[in-house]
Structure 1
Amino acid sequence: MKQTHKERFNKNLIKYLYLSTFLLGIASAFILYLESDYFKVALQSENITSFYIFAYGLALVLMLNWHHLVRLYGKVRVFQVSLSAKLVIAFFLTLFPVSVWSVWLLVVYITFTVISWLDMDNLLEACSVDKKTGKIRGLYLTIENAGYLVAPFFSGLLVSRYGFQAAFAVSFVILFFVLIISLIKIKNVDHCPIKKTDFRSFMKKIFLRKNVLKAYYISFLLEFFYALMIIYTPLYLLDLGFDWFQIGKIFTIMLIPFVLFQYPAGYLADTKYEEKNMMAGALFMLAISTMIIYFVDSKSALAWGAVLFTTRIGASLIEVLRDSYFYKRIDQRDVDITDFFRTVRPIAYIAGALIAAPIVYIFHIKLIFVIIGLAALTGIPVSLSLASSRIPSVSSKSMYKA
């Protein structure tokens, strides 16, 4: 499909985006692994899936329409609005005790967390160039996950001593600093004209991009993994007798691969190997390591840290390679396609919650890990069938983005 492809590399802006990403990573991780237990405590029940379905259903509706707001107001202003909404909700969650009413605040907080990361994607794409996409995205994800790595230990410690409100208080403070950075330093982002399209034309545009759809499926498998692991791993570990302080240490070990492997993988994707081949290998690693969890019943925090560490090796590679491949096939004017691509997270959470609920009710949480592994295996042939991601010459580039 013919289309021109405009790029502008803004190194100075990327530095502030990286700083904001690190802080957002800390703020997000302070809450992310607590969510399922928060719902469970508030409701006095393990039947929590409906709240995830509502939160990510709302996120899905907003994401499908978010490009209209970007077209009208620009990427920066929209990011500041979504960040402000999240900041206000975090403030109220620090004040209100855990209850059936506060869970609705958490639902909206989850929704705007998804939206704020979508906005960060749009901002980063606006100041990136294809030939450096793997390295830019690899470093971006490494920095984001360094924030995630810092948070679980301290989050677990705070919650074990002071309760959930302490974690939201820290998140509020960090989000406040991100908002200040965005108001002062994140400026001069090109507000590239975005063509208004109706839904039918948009869907036609999407389905013409076969490789984008294949990348979407691989992304769905990764987000499906994240959804079920984030919801059910903390609950399973709590059932085994671990407390939040121990779980915080386990999750800190678990997240190390994201800091170790993502930038090197992005660099290799730009310089030596095809994303599609590396993703196939990473999917196999993810599948096998996750299914092994079914057989683990250890009460050792170190053992669980090691087991979960192995699952995140494959996940960390898929995450950066997926982004590297996708963002080489679009440019900053494709906000609608970016919004569509990022709908995969709410769709995966909704699908994961719907699939997991009857399994957990009828069987056992452990079966979830087998289902995740089997699903991941289906992505291997899809990955290998992707078109090459190699950047063509300028003369042929208009034919490249399919």
Structure 2
Amino acid sequence: MHPETENKSQSNIFIIYLLGFLFTLHAALPSYVTSTFLARFTSENFVGIMYTFSALLTIGAFTLIPRVLRKFGNYKTAMGLLIIDLLSILGLAFVKNEFLIYTFFITGFVTVALIGFNIDIFLESFSRDATTGKIRGTFLSTANTAWIIAPLVGSMILTDGDYWKIFLAAALLILPILFFVHNNLKKFKDPEYKIIPLKNTAGEIARNKDIRDIFIVGFLLQFFYSWMVIYTPIYLYTHIGFSWREIGIIFSIMLLPFVLTEAPLGRLADRRWGEKEVMSIGFIVMAISTGLIAFIEIKSIALWAALLFITRIGAAMVEIMSETYFFKKVHSSKADIIGLFRTMRPWAYIVSPVLAIALFSVDMPIKYIFVVLAVIMFLGLHWSLELKDTR
């Protein structure tokens, strides 16, 4: 690569790291309080249904996104979605009508997922396979720094149930994102987005064993996140009795592994280690530590922070290795496959609440859903161990 082109690419990657941090902070600020916010208007079961419905719409949106990209390009699509997201989060902050609150929540859920996809396209276009692990690891570490900051900031903002303050702060973060996208990525050169029928894309994935297995690994990881995001705050707040300030401290410590481990693990994936071994160890750590949640009822910040910290060590190992593996196998022009890979999150938000509702319907105490989640994480070993390392 020409030195001038290399420098330009590095500059663009730095901008995308910055965008990743700001956008993740925007999404993370309300993420752990949204389920509790919605539960003020309805039951815990219906909150799960809301997430499921939002996820269904997200999957539908992902099937259309390659056509949207081909017509408008990634830059215009990202700008449009950011504006819609801004309006949605402002609606959650200030609207009192219950139906409109649900509508804004669903719209925001969908747009956040699609904007994350836009950022994927930007980043993958400036990446080379030889440095994918390093770039993805640094990007995820940068973005996950926001996940650490968000609970602390949120716990300071959220007083006396003033959820509107959280949503307003999240809305304000979109403004610098719009500025950086407009100023730095307006001339982004789009790859050729191939419009491939969903049936053909699914067939291509099914025929490629490694891609198929990494899709399943991605789904299981997103299943873990979805169940944790929806039910851990409810469990800690309602059943263990922590305050939001205490939960903010716990969650910030819990998320440290994403910042501390993903960048170095990404570099090691490029140079030394195979992805599947690290992924498999990650699933074991996730399973054991998640299962222990059901058996701890002590209200101790240190104990809960330590336990949830361990769950995220495992999750970070699986996340960086699955991301590195996937993007070494798939080029940025394959918007259809990348789009389907990003539907693993909404699919998880469909399946996990439905399963939780089924468990609640037979009077299973909420703490035991973490045992079920642990068993599901153990199942991930089957698919992670079947992968063929990229080295």
Q: TM exceeds 0.5?
A: yes
Contact 1:33 1:231 in 2 (8 A): yes
Paired letter, 1:264 = P
Paired letter, 2:297 = D
TM (norm. structure 1) is 0.92
Matched position secondary structure for 1:48? helix
Equivalent residue runs for 1:1-400 within 5 Å: 10-43=9-42, 46-97=45-96, 99-161=98-160, 163-239=162-238, 240-361=240-361, 362-390=363-391
- Identity value in percent: 30
Question: Cα offset for 1:84?
Answer: 1.3
Quickly say closer, same or farther: Cα 1:94–1:136, change in 2 above 3 A.
same
Contact 1:160 1:243 in 2 (8 A): no
Q: Distance in 2 between matches of 1:21 and 1:345?
A: 17
Q: Distance in 2 between matches of 1:119 and 1:81?
A: 11
CA RMSD of aligned residues (A): 1.6
Quickly say closer, same or farther: Cα 1:26–1:195, change in 2 above 3 A.
closer
Contact 2:62 2:340 in 1 (8 A): yes
Q: Distance in 2 between matches of 1:177 and 1:161?
A: 29
Q: Distance in 2 between matches of 1:150 and 1:290?
A: 23
Q: Distance in 2 between matches of 1:98 and 1:327?
A: 42
Question: Cα offset for 1:104?
Answer: 2.2
Paired letter, 1:76 = Y
Question: Cα offset for 1:112?
Answer: 1.1
Q: Distance in 2 between matches of 1:195 and 1:258?
A: 33
Q: Which moved more, 1:92-101 or 1:201-210?
A: 92-101
Deviations 1:354-379 (A, max 9, x none): 00012134211111111111111111
Matched position secondary structure for 2:158? helix
Question: Cα offset for 1:386?
Answer: 0.7
Paired letter, 1:87 = L
Paired letter, 1:52 = Y
Q: Which moved more, 1:272-281 or 1:8-17?
A: 8-17
Q: Distance in 2 between matches of 1:103 and 1:199?
A: 29
Matched position secondary structure for 1:228? helix
Instruction: Structure 1 unaligned segments of length 5 or more: list them.
Output: 1-6, 391-402
Q: Distance in 1 between matches of 2:324 and 2:277?
A: 13
Deviations 1:124-171 (A, max 9, x none): 111111000000000000000001111111112212246110001101
Question: Cα offset for 1:44?
Answer: 5.5
Question: Cα offset for 1:269?
Answer: 0.4
1:394 corresponds to? none
Question: Cα offset for 1:325?
Answer: 0.2
Contact 2:56 2:346 in 1 (8 A): yes
Deviations 1:71-109 (A, max 9, x none): 222112211111111011112222224745313211211
Matched position secondary structure for 2:46? coil
Deviations 1:253-312 (A, max 9, x none): 111111100001101100110001110111111111111111111111221111111100
Q: Distance in 1 between matches of 2:43 and 2:351?
A: 24
Question: Cα offset for 1:46?
Answer: 4.8
Q: Which moved more, 1:173-182 or 1:107-116?
A: 107-116
Instruction: Structure 2 unaligned segments of length 5 or more: list them.
Output: none
Paired letter, 2:207 = L
Paired letter, 1:35 = T
Q: Distance in 1 between matches of 2:142 and 2:309?
A: 18
Q: Distance in 1 between matches of 2:121 and 2:278?
A: 25
Quickly say closer, same or farther: Cα 1:170–1:46, change in 2 above 3 A.
same
Contact 1:127 1:189 in 2 (8 A): no
Q: Distance in 2 between matches of 1:100 and 1:246?
A: 31
Question: Cα offset for 1:58?
Answer: 0.7
Please identify which structure carries the higher helix content: 2
Quickly say closer, same or farther: Cα 1:46–1:198, change in 2 above 3 A.
closer
Paired letter, 2:256 = I
Q: Distance in 2 between matches of 1:90 and 1:190?
A: 30
Q: Distance in 2 between matches of 1:98 and 1:238?
A: 25
Q: Which moved more, 1:93-102 or 1:51-60?
A: 93-102
